[in-house]
Structure 1
């Protein structure tokens, strides 16, 4: 299995009643692009029935994804390793944590027995909202909790049958928002 990122675009109605477009990025563990595309549509059905656009990238940049209990956000942690010939290389791993320092500490702990890892170069908050791993009960439970938190914040697909607000046309003064700008998970 490999890690793939999926991007989903859909219309949603915020608490003020405004309708806008929303883009979300999720990480999936899958066997192929088709597998991940199917996963994406199935696992998000509770929040969106008919997403406008679902894209799956060939592969994610993450060499490793570490699960630790707790952590409101996901962080991209850059690690420095030394190969057999003494050359330094960097790679990125994904870590769940509440803040940058905690993500760095968790990455250090995850690699403490790996002698080729020299240091943790830094961490920054990722745009990934959820991680889905089809065979891990821990990841599935975490995914469901994060999806419910998104639904509680009303990040659900706009339903034309039940709503009365006017849908804006694409690119008419609607700034694009990244997940990090949306204040997810208590920010």
Structure 2
């Protein structure tokens, strides 16, 4: 998802913008101190510290902070009460990104010759739209998505295995509430990509 966001930003921003990408909270805090950016895009589900916690540690009087989430829009008031200026609900399109950043899509978006890529299945078109019809880049995106989905599915399987096969030591037996929380976290991470790929759900 971070790669897709980078590709999207590369398409809509001109050379006057500087984009800084951070994989961890500590990197983000360092970048905020050193760079003092005008806009920050923050996923509210981060491993070290969630967005609701992090924004309380920020002085963002001179910075617009935009929350990114796979939750539905019912969380908007909660996010704004926490201090976020705006929200992007994943999966989002270029137009939504441009709107919250405050740029005009007619002038800022980079243009390219549009070609129909017949190699990429229709199911992946929303994902590979950020590749600007570069087949190699599109295939790299699909490869990364496949690896990420496999990791999520393996984590789900591990959680289910632990819940179904508790150890003999009662202290080591997984708590059902904890298992459900872990499953929700994994599904939340999978949801944006699964939606873009139009994956079917099973009841």
- The two structures have a TM-score, normalised by structure 2, of 0.23
Write 1 or 2 for the structure with the bigger share of strand: 1
Indicate the structure whose relative CO is greater, using CA pairs within 8 Å and at least 6 residues apart.
1
- Higher Rg of the two aligned structures: 2
- The two structures have a TM-score, normalised by structure 1, of 0.24
